[in-house]
Amino acid sequence: MEWEVIYKWLPKFIQGAILTLELVGIAVILGLILAIPLGIARSSKRWYVRSLPYAYIFFFRGTPLLVQLFLVYYGLAQFDAVRASFMWTYLRDPFWCATATMTLHTAAYIAEILRGAIQAIPPGEIEASRALGMSKPKTLFYIILPRAARIGLPAYSNEVILMLKASSLASTVTLLELTGMARTIIARNYLTVEMFLTAGVFYLLISYILVRGFKLLERWLRVDACQGR
């Protein structure tokens, strides 16, 4: 192990880690916002409301993120209409392509988590709120969603960790996040094992901090006390 070389490149790794965190942060927050209507529509009793989110989730969960990323980053350039539109300034940029793809990808998974959580709510609680005279939207916002958030939180934290690992794919569209940075540095100093292992340690560290953070959030939301079994 060449410790001093690792130490020398540490600032670059931190720079890469910050980009990784930006990618993951934007993707999981926007993904959650997008997933809430998707998940609610997915758990609808009417088939025509249910089918469109189902198709969306089926496509994004059934294909690799790499394919989706290439479809957006390389694929969209095939259409002149896209190149001519105002969107092109964003879609030309690998950062926005990566965040957009990761957002769409994770939204499908989070929507499925949300559906599971909504369906896991004891029907008696929803019936109780209806019996108390709460309207359907009121039931949704005061009973179903807060309850589903607590049931789904552990699964959501898993999804965030999975997205952290998936963000390494952004290196294939020239972004210099942790993996991309490691590959660039290796092209300079040829210390393959050391540099990849350093990147790996960074990933482990970030996921450890995230797991701890979600544990705290679970305690703050009193997830255990709300399960009521």
* Site residues, another protein (CB under 8 A): 58-59, 62-68, 70-71, 74-79, 164-169, 171-172, 179, 182-183, 186, 192-193, 196-197, 199-200, 203-204, 207-208
| Block residue for tokens 């039931």 | 139
**Closer Cβ to another protein, 96 or 196, answer by number:** 196
| Surface-to-core class of residue 178, CB atoms within 10 Å of its CB (0-12 exposed, 13-18 middle, 19+ buried) | buried
* Distance in Å, CB of 217 to another protein, minimum: 19
**Closer Cβ to another protein, 59 or 90, answer by number:** 59
* Cα 15 to Cα 100: distance, rounded to the nearest angstrom: 21
* Distance in Å, CB of 23 to another protein, minimum: 12
* Cα 179 to Cα 171: distance, rounded to the nearest angstrom: 6
**Closer Cβ to another protein, 74 or 141, answer by number:** 74
CB 94 within 8 A of CB 170: yes
CB 211 within 8 A of CB 168: no
* Cα 167 to Cα 210: distance, rounded to the nearest angstrom: 15
**Closer Cβ to another protein, 103 or 168, answer by number:** 168
* Distance in Å, CB of 101 to another protein, minimum: 12
* Distance in Å, CB of 221 to another protein, minimum: 25
